Amino acid sequence: FRGEDPDYWHYAAAKAGIVAMTKTIARHYGRQGVTAFAIAPGYVDTSFNQAFRDEFGVESAAADTALGEVAMPQDIANVIVFLASGLARHATGTTIDVNGASYVR
């Protein structure tokens, strides 16, 4: 969430809490072999976004990405598989954006 809509301040605060929790878990439990990552997806073509799709069309969300397409659930799953593989263990504590560059940190 990019924080563009003041009506969703509570949503933005919850997302910030997830990021802080991820960092805390990574720092506190890292020596015990625990890794922690936060996934920050952009628009994902799921039933959760049905109302947006009905009002604006999926093309509107796709136009906001550098890839020109929206993410599918499998795109998010692929990142999670990579993070769970252990190959990314030194990235522990980070937030991974999976949004087609619609938001770049």
Active-site residues: which are they? 11
Answer whether 81's CB lies under 8 Å from 37's CB.
no
Structure-token match 């809490």, residue found: 17
CA 10 to chain CA centroid, Å, is: 17
Where does residue 93 fall: left (phi above 0), alpha (psi -120 to 50 degrees), or beta otherwise?
A: left
